[in-house]
Every structure is written in C-alpha cells, then in structure tokens.
Copies of this chain bind each other. A is one copy, B any other.
Amino acid sequence: MTHVFDEAIAVDARPDGVFHATTHPAYGNMVGPFGGITAATVLNALLQHPDVLGQPLALTINFAAPVADGTWDLHTRIERTNRTNQHWTFTISQDGATVSTGSAVFGIRRETWGDTEVRPPAADPATIADTAPVDFPDFIAWARNYDKRFVVGELVYESPNNDSTSTLWLRDLPERPLDYPALTSMSDAFFPRVFLRHGAYMPAGTITMTTYFHASPDELAAQGSDYVLGTARAQRFSHGHFDQYAQLWGGETLLATSHQLVYFKDPQG
C-alpha cells in the first residue's frame, strides 16, 4: 500500500519534460497545500530526473502566490553540471501563472574530515513514549500526517511566550523511512513562530525557504523511521516579517538545517 506522503509527492513526467503534480487533500494547509509538501514534491521530481547528479545538497523555494488546490506544472532546468555538483532552477505554474520559483543544488558526497559544532537540544528519547502526541487544529490537515511530541514550545491558545523555540519529536504517521523528500517536508513542519509568541493563530505565510541537506544516504538509512528531533526559532520579528531557523536531528546526527522568511499580519494592528 502506498504511503500517503508518497501519494502526495507523486509526479508524472510528461514527454515534454514538464512534471505534472496534484495537490493532496491530506496535506492541505489553511490556504492551499502545506508548503513543505510542495517543496518535497519538487525535490521528488528532481530526484527522478534521468540527468540528475548525486544527491540533494540545497533547495530554495519561493512562494510567490498561494498554490490552488488541484493540478500544477513543474518546469525544471539544469543550469550547469560540474564535475561534482549540479545547479537546477524550477518554476511552478498553474493556469499559466507562476506561483512558485526556486533553485536546487545536487552533488556528490565524498568522505572527508567532518565535525558537527552544534549540539542537539536537550531531549531524552526515553520519554517519547510517555509524551502525548499533539494534534493541531482541524484546519491544519497536513499536521495529521505527523506524530508530534513536544519537548518545549507547544502552542497553547491565548498563552503567549517570550521565546519562539519549539523542540519536538517528529515522524511520519504512519511511519515511513526517512529520505530527502521527507526531510524537505519536515524542515517546514514548524508552525509560524509568531503563533507561539502570541498564543494565537493569525495570517502568516512563508515567502521563501532554504533547506541544506547534511545527511548522507547512509545516515538516512541508519535513521530509518525513527523519530527526528526538530527545533525551530525566530531571530527577529519586524515590519511584517520574521525569519525562522530549524534543525532536524537523528540522534547525534544533524540531518538538515533550514531557514525561512515569513510574512505576518500585525497581531496588534
């Protein structure tokens, strides 16, 4: 049986080279689809391209307009293939209008010296089983496909916070082995930090998101379908926008880092 995530990120490569995709109701958001599933669908298409080199290193997606529920077209372009990396650009259109643009870098991973300087947030995996999974409100459909167990920073309605940090255990529901599309989607699985600050839902939307993929294929295989520890926070809210940074950890392995710029409507305006 096909996992709902794989149904949602499925693409149809047409003879003219354009990929055809369809939004999936299971990954709907307040307006249109969850941005993470759109990004994951793009990455899935690139991974299937016959000329792709290596694995994903970076993905930037710009959300220029809401994606309407229904079908969309993905135009991809290999801008340059070097010896060890490859640069892509892409455009998502609906009814001939551009709704999203972006770029991706793929590359070949080599064994080198390495080190992780940052540490995972304090969280004990032994407590996962005793931590109740949290449901988001019904109008956030996509969240029902994730098992979410908060360490800190669960949104409590009408309970504002001075710190926008959320740290949570996260995995697909039902379980699914981690791969690059799943990492892409999870890198957007943190609700807008302005909600946590104000203890409220309000109009907010990602304008642009960039994910760096640190995990090697071997590290993804070692992770399997275990819980990922995710953490996200904002640095600065001002003038109708804020930034939001995320890390996704598998044990001691930093699997991916992500950053996004988010629009918000003034909660005091």
Contacts and interface: CB of A to CB of B under 8 A. Distances in A.
A52 interface: no
B89 A207 contact: no
Contacts of A216: 238-239
Contact of A62 (B103, B111, B236): B103
Given A103-B208, A110-B266, A57 B235 contact: no
Contact of A114 (B103, B109, B236): B236
B243 A105 contact: no
Chain A interface bracket (under 10, 10 to 19, 20 to 34, 35 or more): 35 or more
B261 A117 contact: no
Q: How many copies does the complex hold?
A: 2
15 contacts: A58-B207, A58-B208, A58-B261, A60-B60, A64-B82, A79-B91, A87-B101, A89-B89, A89-B101, A107-B241, A107-B263, A114-B236, A115-B197, A216-B238, A236-B254
B259 A115 contact: no
Nearest to A55: B239
Nearest to A234: B117
Contacts of A84: 240, 263
